[in-house]
């Protein structure tokens, strides 16, 4: 039950009559909470009773309210549904704190390869910058900074980390990406469909579950990982206020670790020797060589 306004009074009144009431402080608009539940509906993991047997005739009106949201005359059932599904579903990265390591000064090492994930910000907002060490599979730098002078800031960070490649979303920030390239920074533009974002989140979840990556305790990044649930608050025309509020750190991380797969990190390393001399191939007394 919602803990705000009337919900707080109702839950306090009913807690002695109905066991198990949990007051929940909801965040964000109703529409965004509903969008966060879309993966559950689309994957057919929400079940409804059949309205045809007469006992569940309410299902027809309920489904019509869901289908017409947010333009239906009423949305109370939708809001109650999204409240329940979001609470039951939980975050995508529940083990995120297990990957936290002791904080270290982010001093770049020579001959290391680094990737930068960058989510630019509009004027008056903030940009998000994350640096990933490919050798140690570790985040070594994370920051949110005012959008003003962000191109210079990204340029300086790239130079500091051995002229690291910068990865960003293709499309909405082309002017800034071109300006960064003009300064001599290599930029890789990645274009993700909603399905590809979902795959990127799943890959990140596996890396976290396998403890295959690490990062210092960056409070803002950890907070995002703790509450993040789905990909549907990012679209072709991104809402930058939403990115700054809840997703830009995760997006920057997904950009930086693009093509880092759990299977590749766990594959055993084998040295293979070969020779073109037939007399060196054969039985050597105790073993084949």
The CATH number that applies at residue 102 is 3.30.420.240
pTM of the full structure: 0.63
Residues 116 and 238 in one domain: yes
- Residue 289 domain-assigned (yes or no): no
Beta bridge partners of 185: none
* Count of domains for the chain: 2
Residues 216 and 106 grouped into a single domain = yes
Which pLDDT belongs to residue 279?
Answer: 58
Strands 187-190, 126-133: pairing kind: unpaired
Quick one: 82 and 141 in the same domain? no
Instruction: Determine how β-strand 126-133 pairs with β-strand 114-119.
Output: antiparallel
**Taking a C-beta distance cutoff of 8 angstroms, is the pair 231, 201 a contact?**
yes
In a domain, 163, yes or no: yes
- Structural domain of 58: 5-89
Domain end (from 71, 89, 107): 89
162 and 72, same domain (yes or no): no
pLDDT at 245: 43
Cα radius of gyration (the chain):
25
Segments of the chain scoring below 70 in pLDDT: 1, 3-5, 7-8, 11, 15, 19-20, 22, 24-28, 104-105, 229-246, 263-289
Q: For position 3, what pLDDT does the model report?
A: 65
Residue position matching structure tokens 């990645």:
190
Residue 96 CA to residue 214 CA, distance in Å, equals: 9
Looking up tokens 């809840």 gives 246
């Amino acid at each position: 039950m919602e803990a705000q306004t009337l919900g707080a009074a109702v839950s306090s009144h009913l807690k002695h009559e109905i066991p198990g009431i949990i007051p929940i402080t909801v965040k964000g608009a109703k529409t965004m909470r509903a969008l966060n539940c879309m993966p559950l509906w689309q994957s057919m993991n929400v079940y409804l009773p059949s309205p045809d047997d007469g006992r569940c005739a309410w299902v027809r009106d309920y489904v019509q309210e869901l289908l017409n949201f947010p333009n239906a005359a009423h949305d109370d059932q939708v809001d109650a549904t999204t409240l329940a599904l979001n609470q039951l579903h939980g975050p995508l990265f529940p083990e995120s704190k297990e990957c936290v390591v002791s904080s270290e000064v982010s001093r770049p090492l020579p001959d290391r390869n680094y990737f930068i994930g960058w989510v630019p910000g509009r004027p008056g907002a903030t940009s998000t910058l994350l640096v990933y060490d490919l050798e140690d599979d570790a985040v070594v730098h994370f920051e949110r900074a005012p959008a003003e002078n962000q191109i210079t800031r990204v340029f300086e960070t790239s130079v500091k980390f051995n002229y690291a490649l910068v990865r960003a979303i293709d499309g909405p920030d082309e002017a800034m990406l071109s300006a960064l390239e003009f300064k001599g920074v290599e930029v890789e533009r990645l274009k993700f469909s909603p399905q590809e974002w979902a795959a990127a989140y799943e890959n990140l979840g596996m890396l976290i579950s396998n403890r295959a990556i690490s990062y210092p305790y960056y409070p803002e990044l950890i907070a995002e990982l703790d509450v993040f649930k789905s990909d549907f608050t990012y679209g072709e025309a991104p809402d930058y206020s939403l990115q700054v509020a809840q997703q830009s750190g995760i997006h920057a991380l997904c950009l930086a670790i693009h093509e880092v797969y759990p299977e590749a990190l766990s594959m055993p390393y084998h040295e293979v020797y070969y020779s073109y001399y037939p007399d060196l191939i054969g039985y050597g007394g105790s073993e084949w060589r």
